[in-house]
C-alpha cells in the first residue's frame, strides 16, 4: 500500500533519514514511536507530496508519489496534523463545507449526532468557532472530519495528545477496528497497548 524504497531525505543541511525502507500493507495499523526531532512528521509530508525525497522511491498503492499522481493520492488520505490545521470558522459551517466539497451533497445531522455522542462533545459545540475550542476539542473535531470523510488511508500525527486517558483509549480502539490503512505517530499508551497495532521504533 505505502512503500519507501531506499529513501534519503534532507532538510537544508540536515539529513533527516538515510536509506529508509518501510512498507505498510493495506489495512495494516502501524504506530511510529521515537523521540521528537527524528523526522517522523516528514514521513507523512513525503507521503502527501509536501516534501520531496533527495533519492529513493515512494509508492502509494503502486503509484509513484509525484506531481502527476499526487492529487489522486491525496483524495484517498485523511491527514490529521499535530497542530490540527482547521480553518477558523463556525464548526457546523466548517464541517458542511468540507462535506459538500468532497461529496457534492448536503450534510445531514444524522451523520454528525452519533459522532458528537461518541466523541463526547456537546451539540452546542457546532455553533462555536474553531479559535474558541480547547486543544482536546480541536483534536476531536479534527477526528470527526476523518470519520465523516471515511477515506481508506489515515495518517495521524499525535491525534490524542490533548485528551484524557479514557478518551485516548476509546478513540484508538475505534480507529484501529476500522477497515483502513492507518499510520499513527503517538506516544500515548492508548495506541501502544492495542493488540491490533504494529509498532515500529524510529531512531
pLDDT, position 63: 93
Residue 161: its pLDDT value, please? 95
pLDDT value for 61: 94
Evaluate whether residue 66 is within a structural domain.
no
- Residue 198 CA to residue 192 CA, distance in Å, equals 9
132 lies in some domain: yes
Task: Give domain status of residue 135, yes or no.
Answer: yes
pLDDT at 113: 97
Q: Is the pTM of this model over 0.75?
A: yes
Question: pLDDT value at position 37?
Answer: 67
Cell numbers for 139: 483534536
Q: List, as one string, the DSSP characters of 38-95.
A: SSHHHHHHHHTTSS--SEEEEEETTEE-STTTHHHHHTTEEEE-TT----SSBHHHHH
pLDDT computed for residue 39 by the predictor: 78
CA distances from 70 to 61, 93, 141, 164 (A): 12, 27, 26, 36
The pLDDT of residue 12 is: 81
Question: What pLDDT is attached to residue 203?
Answer: 64
Residue 52 lies inside a defined structural domain of this protein: no
How many domains would you assign to the chain? 1
In a domain, 29, yes or no: no
Could you tell me if residue 163 is inside a domain?
A: no
pLDDT at 14: 83
Q: Which residues of the chain have a pLDDT value below 70?
A: 37-38, 203
Q: Tell me, yes or no, whether 181 lies in a domain.
A: no
Domain around 138: 88-150
Q: How many CB atoms lie within 10 A of CB 186?
A: 22
In-domain check, residue 60? no
Amino acid at each position: 500500500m505505502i512503500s519507501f524504497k531506499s529513501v534519503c531525505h534532507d532538510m537544508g543541511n540536515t539529513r533527516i533519514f538515510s536509506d529508509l525502507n518501510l512498507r505498510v500493507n493495506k489495512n495494516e495499523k502501524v504506530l511510529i514511536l521515537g523521540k521528537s526531532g527524528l523526522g517522523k512528521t516528514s514521513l507523512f509530508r513525503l507521503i502527501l507530496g509536501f516534501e520531496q525525497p533527495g533519492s529513493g522511491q515512494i509508492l502509494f498503492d503502486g503509484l509513484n508519489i509525484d506531481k502527476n499522481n499526487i492529487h489522486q493520492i491525496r483524495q484517498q488520505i485523511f491527514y490529521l496534523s499535530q497542530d490540527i490545521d482547521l480553518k477558523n470558522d463556525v464548526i457546523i459551517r466548517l464541517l458542511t463545507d468540507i462535506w459538500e466539497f468532497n461529496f457534492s451533497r448536503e450534510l445531514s445531522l444524522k451523520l454528525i449526532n452519533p459522532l458528537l455522542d461518541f466523541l463526547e462533545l456537546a451539540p452546542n459545540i457546532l455553533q462555536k468557532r474553531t479559535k474558541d475550542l480547547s486543544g482536546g476539542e480541536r483534536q476531536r473535531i479534527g477526528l470527526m472530519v476523518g470519520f465523516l470523510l471515511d477515506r481508506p488511508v489515515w495518517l495521524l500525527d499525535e491525534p490524542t495528545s490533548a485528551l484524557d486517558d479514557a478518551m485516548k483509549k476509546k478513540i484508538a480502539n475505534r480507529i484501529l477496528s476500522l477497515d483502513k490503512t492507518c499510520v499513527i505517530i503517538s506516544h500515548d499508551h492508548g495506541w501502544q497497548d492495542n493488540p491490533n497495532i504494529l509498532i515500529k521504533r524510529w531512531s
